[in-house]
């Protein structure tokens, strides 16, 4: 996948007290005039459009204090170009609402289906807030806004970094004719118009161009990108290669039609066909230039000394700590990493150690299929050995191997 605003807060209303007059002061209630009812109904919306929200609010406060009076005078008509800009701005906000609805529908459909466990789990990451998805919509003035920011061939999108899918919608500020400069709060500026999205730790942003590609594409993106968050990869070139290999094989699945058993001989090494297809994509793509750099750097070395090449070829299946993007596996592994053998020494029946207790809770939350995902995984086995000992280790292993 290519590299793949704060909304207004309504203040609390000031508390007001109303005094009921004594019985001797009771007066008959005035019946509203027939035309007065119009201002309390649909005509209020018309008044707001003509006079502006601030003017209407001020008039309402005056009515509450002094009784009804004349409605505020309409604001001066907006000139043609300015009105056209307002209309385009409103259109962009409407499109953003549509994008949010579409994306949320896709996420909920992925969560509700039962055939694809990885997809269901991936959607659970979004719904639980463990990872945030930001639908990004082009601003109505995208090209001009980007050019002003020094990105002549770029684009401007909203809303980021506020307004994720599971939070209330956030928009951006229109540059009015009287404004000297653009306010790019909650606007994401890109160098190119062809970017479909990007990922940061805990965040996935999807441009409208990605959303427009439909549900299956979105589901593939979720599986792919969340695998990066779920596999606990390190930051070496080899770990970068492995996390992308896993994400393509397990997640977005573009290469599922290619056999994982047929053998091919390429670049002096033996691969399975699907493995090589994914490698070739990463090796030739500018988005993963580090793969080609690391591979080519070893070209002149004896084969026995080609550490990166040998590791890449040996990684012929997408072995992962969390192959199905489970939030429960994620919890368990994090709790395991936070626990030490010293914690195990301090853990007793009368005085349980907090870290060991947290691992016990997390392991019992695992579902049968998730326990199966971890059986035989060398990284899980190594982590258990490195962080646990004695009765605690025995108890955790017993749960993991339960049928």
Three-state secondary structure readout of 45-97 = HHHHHHHCHHHHHHHHHHHHHHCCCCCCCCCCCCCHHHHHHHHHHHHHHHHHH
CA distance 122 to 142: 31
Nearest-10 crossing angle of helices 53-66, 42-51: 120
Complete edge-to-edge strand list for the sheet that includes strand 132-138: 187-190, 155-158, 132-138, 203-207, 197-200
Residue 57 has pLDDT above 80, yes or no: no
Residue 18 has pLDDT above 80, yes or no: no
Asked, as a colleague might, if the bond just before 11 is cis with ω within 30 of 0, I would say no
Print burial letters for 169-193: b (CB count within 10 Å at least 16), e (below 16).
bbbbbbbeeeeeebebebbbbbeee
Phi and psi angles of residue 233, each rounded to the nearest 5 degrees, phi first: -75, 155
Residues 126 and 107: beta-carbon distance below 8 Å: yes
Between 47 and 210, residue with greater pLDDT: 210
Residue 158 has pLDDT above 60, yes or no: yes
Rg (CA), the chain: 30
Give the DSSP H or E segment for 243: helix 237-246
Residue 16 has pLDDT above 60, yes or no: no
Average pLDDT over residues 336-344: 98
CA distance 322 to 334: 12
Burial class of residue 264 (count of CB atoms within 10 Å of its CB; 0-12, 13-18, 19+): middle
For residue 241, which of 275, 197, 195, 199 has the smallest C-alpha distance?
Answer: 275
CA distance 287 to 274: 20
Give me the residues paired with residue 114 across strands.
none
Categorize the per-residue pLDDT at 240 as very low, low, confident or very high, splitting at 50, 70 and 90: very high
Q: What is the largest CA-CA distance in the chain?
A: 107
| Secondary structure letter of residue 251 according to DSSP | I
Categorize the per-residue pLDDT at 25 as very low, low, confident or very high, splitting at 50, 70 and 90: very low
Residue 125 has pLDDT above 50, yes or no: yes
Q: For 184-206, write each residue's pLDDT tens digit.
A: 999 999 999 999 999 899 999 99
Residue 56 has pLDDT above 90, yes or no: no
Point out the least confidently predicted range of 33-37, 122-126, 320-324, 342-346.
33-37
* Mean pLDDT score of the chain: 87
Unique residue bearing structure tokens 């909920």: 108
The answer for residues whose C-beta is within 8 angstroms of residue 147's C-beta and 6 or more apart is 154
Give me the residues paired with residue 202 across strands.
none
Residues 352 and 359: beta-carbon distance below 8 Å: no
Residue 273 has pLDDT above 50, yes or no: yes
pLDDT value at position 327? 98
Q: What percent of the chain has pLDDT over 90?
A: 78
pLDDT value at position 4? 52
Q: For 374-398, write each residue's pLDDT tens digit.
A: 998 999 999 999 999 999 999 999 9
CA distance 337 to 334: 5
Q: For 68-120, write each residue's pLDDT tens digit.
A: 666 666 655 666 899 999 999 999 999 999 999 999 999 999 999 999 999 99
pLDDT value at position 80? 86
Residues 110 and 123: beta-carbon distance below 8 Å: yes
73 phi-psi bin (left φ>0, alpha ψ -120 to 50, beta other) = beta
Name the 3-class secondary structure at 294. Answer: helix
């Amino acid at each position: 996948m290519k590299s793949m605003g704060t909304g207004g807060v309504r203040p609390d209303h000031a508390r007001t007290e109303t005094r009921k007059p004594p019985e001797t002061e009771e007066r008959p209630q005035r019946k509203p005039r027939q035309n007065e009812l119009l201002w309390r109904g649909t005509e209020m919306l018309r008044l707001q459009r003509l006079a502006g929200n601030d003017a209407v609010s001020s008039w309402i406060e005056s009515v509450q204090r002094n009784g009804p009076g004349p409605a505020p005078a309409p604001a001066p008509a907006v000139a043609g170009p300015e009105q056209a800009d307002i209309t385009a701005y409103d259109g962009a906000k409407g499109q953003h609402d549509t994008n949010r609805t579409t994306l949320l529908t896709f996420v909920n459909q992925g969560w509700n289906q039962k055939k694809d466990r990885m997809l269901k789990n991936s959607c659970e990451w979004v719904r639980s807030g463990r990872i945030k998805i930001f639908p990004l919509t082009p601003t109505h003035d995208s090209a001009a806004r980007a050019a002003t920011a020094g990105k002549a061939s770029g684009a401007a999108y909203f809303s980021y970094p506020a307004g994720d899918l599971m939070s209330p919608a956030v928009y951006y500020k229109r540059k009015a004719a009287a404004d000297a400069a653009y306010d790019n709060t909650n606007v994401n500026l890109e160098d190119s118009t062809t970017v479909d999205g990007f990922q940061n730790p805990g965040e996935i942003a999807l441009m409208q161009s990605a959303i427009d590609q439909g549900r299956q594409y979105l589901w593939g993106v979720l599986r792919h990108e969340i695998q990066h968050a779920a596999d606990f990869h390190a930051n070496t070139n080899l770990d970068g290669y492995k996390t992308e290999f896993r994400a393509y094989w397990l997640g977005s699945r573009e290469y599922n039609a290619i056999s994982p058993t047929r053998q091919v001989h390429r670049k002096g090494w033996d691969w399975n066909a699907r493995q090589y297809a994914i490698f070739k994509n990463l090796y030739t793509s500018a988005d993963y230039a580090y793969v080609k750099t690391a591979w080519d750097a070893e070209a002149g070395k004896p084969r026995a000394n080609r550490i990166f090449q040998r590791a890449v070829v040996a990684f012929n299946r997408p072995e992962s700590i969390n192959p199905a993007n489970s939030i429960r596996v994620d919890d368990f592994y994090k709790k395991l990493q936070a626990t030490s053998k010293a914690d195990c020494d301090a853990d007793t029946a009368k005085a349980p150690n907090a870290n060991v207790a947290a691992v016990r809770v997390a392991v019992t939350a695992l579902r049968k299929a998730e326990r199966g995902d971890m059986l035989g995984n060398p990284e899980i086995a190594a982590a258990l050995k490195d962080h646990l000992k004695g009765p605690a280790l025995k108890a955790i292993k017993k749960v993991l191997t339960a049928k």
